[in-house]
Amino acid sequence: MNGFEFDQHIAAPPERVFEVLADPTRASAFLDNITQSTKLTDGPTGVGTVFRETRVVGGKESSADLLVTAYQPSTQLGISTEAEGITVEYHYRLTPDAHGTRLHWACELEAAGLRRMMLPVIAAIMKREDGGHLRKLKAYLESR
């Protein structure tokens, strides 16, 4: 697999963790590199919902559309994005435990042709850029 995985325990119930994860418009509250996120589709969030996220990467601002690909309240969320022939799929799995939520986050990258050879390097860059995502989410949820 080209990508990475992280696990984090959060001292909050799965419903609360999912509520924040499933609403990318809240990401700027706990992720410094997210400058804006807007919901582009109408209706309640679910599979097929699209958000546009703007973030600073390497000192430059860029935007990407995020598509909700899996949505099972309090248990599972999938979000994908595509840029320059590379598809990134984020999988979040939430499991309740006695003291809150165990959150597993996997990022998978796919590409065709020559771009496929770049995936290990891109995955390493993304892991470095996004590696603190769950730690920041934990701090945000546990401070409220």
Please report where in the chains the tokens 């390497």 appear, as a residue.
58
- Specify the long-range contacts of residues 40-47, CB closer than 8 Å, at least 24 apart: 40/65, 45/71, 46/71, 47/71
Residue 20 and residue 35: Cα distance in Å, rounded? 16
Residue boundaries of the structural domains of the chain: 3-142
* Residue 25's pLDDT band (cuts 50, 70, 90): very high
What are the tokens at 10?
A: 């959060």
pLDDT at 1 over 80: no
Distance of CA 54 to the CA centre of its chain: 13
Q: What is the pLDDT of residues 70-84, one digit of tens each?
A: 999 999 999 999 988
For the record, the structure tokens of 7 come out as 């696990």
- pLDDT attached to residue 92: 98
- Tell me the pLDDT tens digit for each residue of 88-144: 999 999 999 989 999 999 999 999 888 888 898 888 888 888 888 899 999 999 998
Domain 3-142 falls under CATH 3.30.530.20 = yes
Cα angle vertex 98, ends 92, 130, to 5°? 30
